[in-house]
Amino acid sequence: MKIQDSAHSESPSSPPVGPGGRIDCSPENIEQGLAKLVLGLIELLRQLLERQAIRRMQGGSLTDAQVEEMGESLMKLEAKVHELAEHFGLTPADLNLDLGPLGSLLEK
């Protein structure tokens, strides 16, 4: 168990900082900047869908075939997002966009 004093760690309320969290839309990096924006939004939707799928599965409102179908779609979508991110030189953490005062796009 690691116990750290706040004086030696980043504030929990602070959004992620550094170049990784921002969209760079300069002419040289427009492709990567756009990929970060689009893939970040897709990842947000994917995570929301996944949570909803788990809730419905727990609630018993899905048949076995539906669970399999949803799970497979979410699994493949996750793999594809990661593959595309890698293609543009991005890590999964880069998709968590810094929205400034609003915080980060995805939960940390």
Partner 1 sequence: MSILLYCVVLKSGLRQPSSGVAGLPVSCSECNDVVALFSKGASAEAWTGAPLRESAQEFHRALQQVFTGGAIIPFRFPTLMKDEEELWAYLQENSALYSSSLQRFESSVQMEAVISYSDLTSGTAVKTSGTEYLRSRQKHSEELHVIANKLRDCAGDVARDWRERSVQNTLRLFALLDRNSVSEFKDRLRGFGVPAGLTVRVTGPWPVTEFLELNKI
> Which positions touch partner 1 (CB under 8 A)?
1-7, 9-15, 17-19, 22, 47, 50, 53-54, 57-58, 64, 67-75, 78, 82, 100-103, 106-108
Q: Which two tokens stand for residue 2?
A: 């690691």
- Residue 3 CB, shortest distance to partner 1, in Å, is 5
Determine the longest span between alpha carbons in the chain, in angstroms: 51
- CA neighbor of 98 nearest in space, from 44, 20, 45: 20
Residues in the chain: 108
CA angle, residues 30, 31, 32, in degrees to nearest 5 = 95
Nearer Cβ to partner 1, position 18 or 27? Answer: 18
- Residue 14 CB, shortest distance to partner 1, in Å, is 6
Nearer Cβ to partner 1, position 74 or 84? Answer: 74
Nearer Cβ to partner 1, position 11 or 61? Answer: 11
Give the three-class secondary structure for 96. coil
- Residue 22 CB, shortest distance to partner 1, in Å, is 7
